[in-house]
Amino acid sequence: MEIKEIGENKFEFIDLLLIGDEEESMINRYLEQSTLFVLYDKGKLVSLCAVIKADSDIIEIKNLATYPQYRNKGFASALLDFVYDKYKNECKALILGTGENEKTLRFYKKRGFTEFGRVRNFFTDNYTHPIFENGKQLIDMIYLKKSVS
């Protein structure tokens, strides 16, 4: 497994970015200012994580995605651990926003994230089409935080 930081040509990863965020216009809002980390396993791209510095004390994970055939093998967890380790001396917390998907929320909570906020109607107000995960339409954005000690 190898993790690389991508500084240029981030749009080359759009197919994987669209797995984590289905609307290209939303990705365009953060991609240029983000730091992109990509994870390769045996030379194959399997997962990525885009982060931005939200303010002087906060790193925000904007996109975390893994190709479906590589899920449940620890790649997304490895990226979260990598990001945590990389920024633990530069920030007080990692934050992220996600939909009301119990499987996704359980994934993050298992890794030390806790809920701290909600943006009502985020997905219905900001996306051109309904977004569904596990058969349920996403409506609200749930914000999660992991404190860095």
The predicted structure's pLDDT at residue 134: 82
Q: State both tokens at 107.
A: 């994934």
The predicted structure's pLDDT at residue 135: 86
CB-count exposure of residue 43 (10 Å: 0-12, 13-18, 19+): exposed
Dihedral (CA of 29, 110, 75, 69) sign: negative
The predicted structure's pLDDT at residue 56: 87
Instruction: Delimit the domains of the chain by residue range.
Output: 2-147
Averaged in consecutive runs of 10 residues, what is the pLDDT profile of the chain (149 residues)? Answer: 95 96 92 96 97 93 97 96 94 95 93 95 91 89 92
The predicted structure's pLDDT at residue 141: 93
Q: Which CATH architecture has domain 2-147?
A: 3-Layer(aba) Sandwich (3.40)
pTM: 0.92
**Can you tell me the distance from the alpha carbon of 100 to that of 115, in angstroms, rounded to the nearest whole number?**
11
